């Protein structure tokens, strides 16, 4: 299997040439004071070294060893503690954190590239910094000044890690029925009691303290999701001077035995009157959690890209080296017993499909990160509000479409290897197993599709969709005279019109058919995602085509040719998806329970 190498050339292309991120950062004063092009480039370079040289070599061993549970204590795979210290010493835990409390204040457009490298190199390990960053984000946005001062510096420094405790044995998607309780102690603290499951890195030996953000209900809380509050519950209580105090009344009851990401600890956490502190307002816990969710859901989408990138690198190298049969057009390497399998059209189909989703997905994740940066840092109210709408609309697409296509790409990478792809030593079967969870956690992809179709599109009567529609339409109009883009703008416009027509169709159906949204949602998200990646590939052609003719490296010419494949072979899938959506819900809902 190929050793993972961070795709720095492609990341720089997306950041600097496709999206002109330095200009975006300059337009956001709070960002500009922390980053410039040279700083960003140095961060990318160092991130590539650490992820490729430190994290990737631990990936297979971490999967084979897994975490170990012993009487409530969890030990990590060999090398993980040392790798964690490398991440901590480099300041990577606080890369996007608030500088007021020790973070580096880097924009999400840059942080997203590091996140992809980390997840591609070692997803199980990468979940630990990812969860800490999410916990910090929620605490920074909603915690009191006292809580932020007390906890954020050590969390950004990585001395303490973070965990998010949402799910319960009986309550996954439907958090309104959680049973974990929080009783006031009369001194500003609360006693938290209940059991949480599927808590990623809820217990481990890499950091000296673990800060849990726990969803729970107060005694007089309203029923349902409007009665959920968020509490900070540390593994060790923290003294007034910042030192660690007594062990809190919480413990890891067991570790889950999982299909993938075996190097990470997925914990059952028991809270037995553990002392905690309210984060944000009473009964507003979901609002606080959703502050984190937009970032984390994009982060999970990036995991899908990362796994697919690792699979593509390995499959590409294998296709260049593995000789098997002759090319349909005749021997390409007559001095050898057979030709490399790259000569075969079906192998090229798989590799180009992977390339289309990985590189298009990287551009799309950066596009969404751009809107996150504007929504968080802009001083212009109108610009910020516009960006918030784009983030709301695009987040479920980023999470679900990128992870669905990420798994598809990993399976194709495995298929390129044939029988060897099923064998442990080549690494492809681990990528398939690891990537599978990305479609499930942080809200299953079916729920993401319902969120997009029901809440964001139908719920806004198309107003949020119009923000994206205006962006695509402006690009098409502004570039109508570009000869390089002409072959791409017509099919993009057709797919975009198809998406707009279907959007209006479902909005109209939903007014008198309760099943319309649910029946259309998954296909609609795929239609949206394919069209969005078509838009990204058109933007990449705009940046690459003028440089392609004089390109001796093959980078820019390869981009243009890969775009042609995407538009010829992948974007047309939108036709079938649109037809399926227009068929409505009747055939889906017609069977009785007995007929299944």
Collapse the DSSP code of 270 into the 3-class scheme (helix H, G, I; strand E, B; otherwise coil) and give the result: strand
Given a contact cutoff of 8 angstroms between Cβ atoms, the answer to whether 231 and 277 are in contact is: yes
Please say whether the dihedral angle defined by the alpha carbons of residues 309, 410, 416 and 77, taken in this order, is positive or negative. positive
> What pairing do the DSSP bridges indicate for beta strands 236-238 and 229-234?
unpaired
Integer Rg of the chain from CA:
24
* Residues ≥6 apart with Cβ < 8 Å to 505: 581, 582
Residue 19 CB partners (closer than 8 Å, separation 6+): 109, 363, 366, 367, 370, 539
* Collapsed DSSP state (helix, strand, coil) of residue 38: helix
- DSSP tag of 451: I
User: How many Cα neighbours within 13 Å face the side chain of 331?
Assistant: 6
DSSP code of 90?
T
Give the C-alpha separation, 517 to 507, whole Å. 8
Q: Specify which residues 184 forms β-bridges with.
A: 190
Give the active site residue among 442, 470, 478, 490: 442
Which backbone phi and psi does 249 adopt, to 5 degrees?
-85, 65
Helix spans in 484-594 (H) = 486-510, 516-548, 555-565, 573-582, 586-589
Three-state secondary structure string covering 2-29 = CCCCCCHHHHHHHHHHHCCHHHHHHCCH
Helix, strand, coil abundance in the chain, percent, nearest 5: 60, 10, 25
Q: Assign residue 334 a region: left if phi > 0, alpha if psi is -120 to 50, beta otherwise?
A: alpha
Residue 442 known to be catalytic:
yes
CB 244 within 8 A of CB 209: yes
DSSP bridge pairs for 236: 247
- Cα-Cα end-to-end distance for the chain: 43
User: Of 283, 348, 292, 361, which is closest to residue 320 (Cα–Cα)?
Assistant: 348
Q: Calculate ∠ Cα 87-89-90, nearest 5°.
A: 65
List strand residue ranges (DSSP E) for 20-158, in order.
Answer: 68-70, 73-75
Say if CB 116 and CB 365 are below 8 A apart: yes
Cβ–Cβ < 8 Å for 193, 250: no
Q: How many CB atoms lie within 10 A of CB 80?
A: 25
Q: State the catalytic residues.
A: 442
């Amino acid at each position: 299997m190929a050793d993972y190498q961070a795709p720095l050339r492609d990341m720089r292309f997306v950041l600097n040439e496709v999206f002109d991120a330095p200009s975006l950062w300059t337009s956001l004063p709070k960002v500009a004071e922390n980053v410039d092009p040279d700083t960003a480039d140095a961060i990318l370079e160092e991130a590539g070294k650490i992820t490729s040289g430190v994290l990737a070599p631990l990936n297979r061993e971490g999967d084979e060893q897994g975490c170990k549970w012993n009487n409530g204590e969890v030990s990590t795979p060999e090398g993980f503690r040392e790798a964690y210290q490398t991440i901590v010493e480099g300041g990577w835990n606080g890369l996007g954190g608030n500088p007021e409390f020790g973070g580096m204040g880097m924009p999400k457009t840059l942080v997203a590239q590091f996140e992809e490298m980390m997840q591609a190199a070692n997803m199980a390990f990468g979940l630990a910094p990812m969860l800490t960053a999410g916990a910090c984000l929620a605490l920074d946005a909603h915690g009191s000044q006292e809580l932020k001062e007390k906890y954020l510096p050590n969390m950004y420094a990585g001395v303490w890690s973070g965990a998010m405790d949402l799910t319960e044995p009986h309550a996954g998607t439907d958090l309104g029925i959680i049973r974990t309780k929080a009783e006031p102690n009369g001194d500003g603290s609360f006693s938290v009691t209940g059991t949480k499951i599927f808590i990623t890195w809820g217990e481990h030996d890499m950091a000296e303290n673990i800060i849990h953000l726990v969803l729970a209900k107060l005694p007089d809380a309203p029923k349902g999701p409007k009665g959920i509050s968020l509490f900070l519950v540390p593994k060790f209580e923290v003294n007034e001077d910042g030192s660690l105090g007594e062990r809190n009344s919480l413990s890891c009851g067991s570790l889950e035995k999982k299909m993938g990401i075996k190097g990470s600890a997925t914990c059952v956490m028991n809270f037995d009157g553990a002392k905690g502190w309210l984060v944000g307002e009473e009964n507003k816990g979901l609002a606080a959690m959703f502050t984190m969710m937009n970032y984390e859901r994009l982060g999970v989408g990036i995991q899908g890209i990362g796994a697919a990138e690792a699979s593509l690198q390995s499959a590409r190298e294998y296709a260049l080296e593995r000789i098997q049969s002759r090319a349909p057009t005749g021997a390409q390497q007559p001095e050898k017993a057979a030709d490399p399998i790259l000569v075969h059209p079906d192998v090229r189909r798989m590799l180009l499909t992977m390339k289309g989703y990985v590189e298009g997905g990287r551009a799309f994740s950066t596009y969404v990160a751009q809107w996150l940066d504007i929504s968080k840092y802009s001083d212009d109210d109108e610009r910020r509000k516009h960006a918030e709408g784009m983030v709301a609309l695009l987040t479920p697409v980023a999470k679900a479409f990128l992870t669905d296509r990420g798994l598809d790409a990993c399976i194709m990478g495995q298929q390129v290897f044939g029988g060897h792809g099923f064998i442990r030593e080549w690494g492809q079967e681990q990528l398939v197993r690891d990537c599978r969870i990305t479609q499930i956690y942080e809200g299953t992809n079916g729920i993401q599709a319902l969120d997009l179709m029901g809440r964001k599109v139908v719920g806004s009567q198309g107003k949020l969709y119009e923000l994206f529609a205006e962006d695509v339409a402006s690009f098409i109009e502004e570039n109508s005279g570009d000869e390089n883009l002409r072959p791409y703008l017509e099919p993009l416009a057709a797919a975009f019109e198809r998406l707009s027509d279907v959007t209006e169709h479902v909005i109209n159906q939903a007014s008198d058919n309760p099943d319309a949204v649910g029946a259309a949602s998954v296909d609609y998200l795929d239609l949206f995602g394919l069209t969005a990646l078509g838009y990204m590939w058109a933007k990449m052609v705009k940046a690459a085509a003028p440089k392609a003719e004089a390109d001796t490296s093959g980078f820019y010419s390869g981009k243009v040719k890969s775009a042609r494949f995407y538009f010829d072979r992948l974007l047309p899938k939108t036709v079938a998806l649109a037809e399926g959506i227009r068929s409505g819900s009747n055939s889906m809902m017609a069977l009785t329970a007995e007929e299944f």
